[in-house]
Amino acid sequence: MDVPKDQITALLDHELYNSAQILGSFLVSSATVSLETSPQLKAENQILLGDALFREREFRRAIHTYKQALHYYKIIPKQSSATSRSSLSNRSSSPNSFNISAINENEVKFKIASCHATLNETRAALVEMEGIPSKARTLQMSLLMAKLYRSSKHTRLAITCYKECLRHCPFVIEAIVALAELGVAAKDVISLFSQLHLIISILLAGFSAMLRPSAVLLQMIIEVVWSSLENSCNVFQIIYTYYLKSQGLKP
């Protein structure tokens, strides 16, 4: 069954999701009735089908399929499971990533949570996300958790997750916007950035404020600028100085 599995991966890569779903259903059915198919292969097949269903926006079926994958994952022999986890460093946790060479339980939970979130089932999505250890969460996972906590009015937890997003990447502007809207003090946001990252983020956040006017965000930007730029040095001067230094020139 290796050839059909390779083919469904190719279909997913080429965004031919309907064909991938049909082939995936055949692949899963064939593997289910075969006593020789290993639990790991069954789990991988289920994930491939789940990804096709996700992209076809059949979220209910995708949830069921991903959960079937987790069922098979749990009965994989420990040695095989450990080998799978050791080769996951290059995997994406996005449901849009289809190159599956191994199984990561946390990524599958994230995909299930993404389905629930799309269906506005916040509580169910949080149950899945809270089952992922904090140290194992990717940027995408932290951002989804922040949005889910905010949606369910758990403001403090949402703030913590948004801050974690900025520790992953200082240019997640939607996290900066969300922190401003949640009333986080400018000094708390400043502490998350290096000087250069702070300046760039200010500019990007300012651009975001122009696209989507927000008095709260603009107020934060003003506070950040006044708090971080000393001796009347403005944003342009700092960026210009950095540019000159990067070119080996004297400021």
Domain ranges of the chain: 1-118
* Range ranked top by mean pLDDT from 59-63, 77-81, 211-215, 220-224: 59-63
Statement: residue 131 has pLDDT above 70: yes
What's the mean pLDDT in 108-123? 97
pLDDT at 156: 97
157 vs 166, more confident: 157
pLDDT at 204: 56
CB 110 within 8 A of CB 20: no
Give ∠ CA 165-128-122 in degrees, rounded to 5. 80
Q: For residue 180, give the nearest of 206, 148, 200 by alpha carbon.
A: 206
Q: At what angle do helices 17-33 and 2-13 cross, to 10 degrees?
A: 160
pLDDT at 29: 82
What's the mean pLDDT in 237-249? 52
Is 1-118 a domain of CATH 1.25.40.10? Answer: yes
> What's phi and psi for 109, nearest 5 deg?
-60, -40
pLDDT at 191: 77
The pair of three-digit structure tokens given for residue 151, joined into one six-digit string: 């949606």
Range from 68-77, 131-140, 142-151 carrying the lowest mean pLDDT: 68-77
Average pLDDT of the residues of the chain: 77
Task: Match 């789940």 to its residue by tokens.
Answer: 50
Q: Read off the DSSP letter of residue 207.
A: H
Confidence of residue 224 (pLDDT cuts 50, 70, 90): low
